[in-house]
Structure 1
Amino acid sequence: MSKRVLVGMSGGVDSAATAYLLHQQGYEVAGATFVLWSGEETEESKCCSVDDVEDARYVCSQLGVPHYVFNYKDLFRRTVVEPFVEGYRQGRTPNPCILCNRHIKFDAFSRRARELGFDYIATGHYARVTRDPESGRYQLRRALYPEKDQSYVLYHLTQEQLSMFLLPLGDYSKEEVRQIARDSGLVVAKKPDSQDICFVPDGDHAAFIGRYTGEAPKQGYFVDQQGTRLGPHKGIARYTVGQRKGLGISLGKTMYVSRISSADQTVTLVEDESLLFRDSLRAEDVSYLSIPPLTAPRGAEIRIRYSQGTAKGEIIPQEDGSVLVQFERPQRAPTPGQAVVFYDGDLVLGGGTISGD
């Protein structure tokens, strides 16, 4: 009897190719599309549109497999949108895609799949799952082609989730996936990839937060390192550590955001970019994925941004469950609210949320 797999389908080419490949491999496939956001607060913000649902449904009809639609709007609002809004209000730069993966695409989705009698879940992420033959522990690894690797946004997965998680795209390049979609006649073969935060398609997260909360941004000031006021700003949600463009103030010289304080609504600017570099950071809400929780320092390759390479460093576990990360060479602007992920070669050790120096 063939194993049953429920594929999370966004209406895009990656998830469609995932369903096709698993169907070809002999799995009993069904597709599931999540309704997460309908843009109630704004006319322009739309996620999981009717077109996306219909594209996923049409691909399933092409493959001759069932298609489900799951309404996760309330859960998405509670676990993704509200922490996103609150993070910016606290002077952080949250990553809503990681929150969505954690709470919706793997936690809620895997539990629903189990309830429906499926053996596995699958998505169109570019990463790989293996199993250590000695310990029996499931492990997450980078995609074979690093330019498309998405392991950074999956560091929070649990052993139970990994045990039922299929990632057929981890061995393919993006162009190979598109070619598979074209060769198999999938209707979404030429559909462009989405780039923006799904519920903020115009990229203006500060304006979204204002619309969502119905509140005007709090008054605050740009200050220099000595605390001297340089001029008013438009609300701390508009800024992130390391930023230099779009500050909205003319100072006659290039300056960089080095610190954001929600306590007094100040944004500290520095002229010397070298002041943004840090030789350490602290991370909270740490997940150990492919290894047991650390009890002693361990060397690792550290990644502090999705679009950035790794840097060598050491992970030092703390008594409260957080970690101190020490870099061999200082890194530019580790940003509170963003993820830090630990690697050993292509193996994802785990990760956490950057909380400060």
Structure 2
Amino acid sequence: MPGKDVFVTFPELQIDKPAAAARIVVAMSGGVDSSVAAMIAARSGAEVIGVTLQLYDHGEAAKRSGACCAGQDIYDAAQVCEKLGIAHYVLDYESRFREGVIERFADDYARGRTPVPCSLCNQGVKFTDLHAFARELQADALVTGHYVRRVVRNGKAELHKGRDPARDQSYFLYGTTPEQLDLLRFPIGELPKAEVRRQAAEGGLIVAAKPDSQDICFVPDGDYAGLVKRMRPETEAPGEIVDLGGKVVGSHRGIVHFTVGQRRGLEIGGSPEPLYVVRIEPDERRLVVGPKQALAVSEATVGAWNWLGEEQTEVEVKVRSLSRPVPARLEGGVIRFHQPEYGVAPGQAAVAYEGDRLLGGGWIEHTRSAIDAVATAA
């Protein structure tokens, strides 16, 4: 154990304080990523406190491999903390998670939107509430296992993409505030997944080979439509499928089974080209379909925008976690893409970057078809 005059020198932790005087809170989901983050924090010699949020307990979901923040995962987090010799606490946030994430998820589907529950979770219980908890404990840092990097430039903390592009999670963290980033640390952001697992195995952690959690962790069997139907039964009411001109071309078995851009499950015959869901009109229980080019979007209106970096007009924007950023102009809450962009739908997050640096983001409220924009200009 370092002496009281020894500073925490682990560059991943960015704490300029004697090790014996530093206190670190680690958010532990029970997976390998947060466990290795906790191991790095523990090896610094600081006082480390592991915290796991119990977010849901849906029967078999609590036992299911690949979930997070429930049953087996809480047990795994406790075992890792025991191995590391650090304290471990479990906080019951199930009601907050249900109201802020699960209910919102179901509402978005009922409104014909494409939800991003991971962003909701990070903006709510995982960052907002954990940040408050860490402050109450007078912690010097709140450590998580996200694949992102905290870079300090000119005395100001910035949020950057994870070094491994295949694992980067910055898209889901656009709602992070400057105050939260001052406390947050991401010790595995420079590492590829294989190295994280190697370090876990080398450290004797029981989660070294544990499967990764799923994107929608609170869905017991991966059947999100089943969950939404139970919570919002009106979403399984059948309705019409119409083309862009309003002509009825088929019927569907409930809007819950569809999102914008989807082709599978439409079962429309007689069309000379593949048709996709272009728009969902939940009040009329109607799907509007069209050819692929009808999915091209020229601009999107974004609400609840959060700037983490300086406000900018010319940016690069991602509208899906796995898409590449594309050039766009951002003015007055409207994103105008330099070239028509596909895969843009209400309910998704639009996240702005400057190179690897995350500038901010918000929720897509409305989109404008590139075809409509051309017709208006003509």
Look up the match of 2:359. 349
Q: How does 1:144-163 map to 2 (within 5 A)?
A: 144-163=163-182
In the TM superposition, what is the alpha-carbon distance from 1:199 to its structure 2 partner? 1.3
Cα distance, 1:217–1:41 mapped onto 2, change above 3 Å:
farther
* Residue aligned with 1:189, SS: coil
Partner of 1:172: 191
Structure 1 residues 352 and 251: alpha-carbon distance in aligned structure 2, compared to 1, 3 A threshold: farther
The residue that corresponds to 2:46 in the other structure is 27
d(CA) in 1 for partners of 2:352 and 2:61?
A: 38
Structure 2 residue identity aligned to 1:219: P
Tell me if structure 2 keeps the 8 A contact 1:343–1:350.
yes
Sort the Cα spacing of 1:254 and 1:43 in 2 relative to 1 into closer, same or farther, 3 A: farther
Cα distance between partner residues in 1 of 2:328 and 2:45: 43
User: Is 1:115 the counterpart of 2:136 in the alignment?
Assistant: yes
CA change 1:101–1:16 in 2 (3 A) is same
Aligned mate of 1:308, from 302, 312, 323: 323
Separation in 2, partners of 1:215, 1:258: 21
Q: Aligned-pair distance for 1:275? A: 1.4
After superposition, residues 96-135 of structure 1 pair within 5 angstroms as 96-133=117-154
Q: Distance in 2 between matches of 1:209 and 1:274?
A: 30
Letter aligned with residue 302 of structure 1? V
Give the drift of 1:334: 0.5
Q: Deviations over 1:94-143 (max 9, x none)?
A: 1111101110110011111222332221110000112331xx43211111
Cα distance change, pair 216–43 in 1 and its aligned pair in 2 (3 A): farther
**2:27 is aligned with 1:17:** no
Whether 1:234 aligns to 2:234 is no
2:305 to 286, 296, 299: 286
Once the two structures are TM-superposed, the CA of residue 43 in structure 1 deviates from its matched residue by 9.3
Using the size of structure 2 for normalisation, the TM-score is 0.87
Identity %: 40
Do the aligned partners of residues 148 and 194 (structure 1) sit closer, same or farther apart at CA in structure 2, a change above 3 Å counting? Answer: same
Match of 1:263 in 2: 283
Cross-structure match for 1:74: 95
Equivalent-residue separation in structure 2 for 1:216 and 1:177 (angstroms): 41
Are 2:19 and 1:3 aligned?
no
Query: Does the Cα contact within 8 Å between 2:30 and 2:74 map onto a contact in 1?
Result: yes
CA distance in 2, matches of 1:302, 1:245: 27
The 1:214/1:40 distance shift into structure 2, 3 A limit, reads farther
| Aligned-residue offset at 1:63 | 0.4
Query: For the structure 1 residues 202 and 247, does the alpha-carbon distance in structure 2 shift closer, same or farther, using more than 3 Å as the test?
Result: farther
CA distance in 2, matches of 1:2, 1:43: 37
Q: Which residue of 2 aligns with 1:193?
A: 212
2: CA distance, partners of 1:234 / 1:6: 47
Range 210-219 or range 163-172, more displaced = 210-219
> Is the 8 Å Cα contact of residues 2 and 26 (structure 1) preserved in structure 2?
no
- Aligned residue type for 1:69: V
Question: Is the CA contact 1:42–1:211 (under 8 Å) kept in the aligned structure 2?
Answer: no
Task: Give the aligned length.
Answer: 345
Contact 1:127 1:143 in 2 (8 A): yes
1:336 has 2:346 as partner: yes
Contact 2:61 2:219 in 1 (8 A): no
- Asked if 2 retains the 8 angstrom alpha-carbon contact of 1:95 and 1:338, the reply is yes
Q: Deviations over 1:166-211 (max 9, x none)?
A: 1001111111111111111111101010224111143322211112
Deviation of residue 228 (structure 1)?
Answer: 1.4
TM-score (norm 1): 0.91
Q: Partner letter of residue 161 of structure 2?
A: R
The RMSD of aligned alpha carbons is 2.0
Structure 1: segments with no counterpart, 5+ residues:
none
Larger radius of gyration: 2
Measured in 2, the distance between the counterparts of 1:109 and 1:240 equals 32
- Which digits, 9 at most, give the CA deviation of each residue in 1:41-94, with x for residues without a partner? 999987533211110000000000000001000100111011111111111011
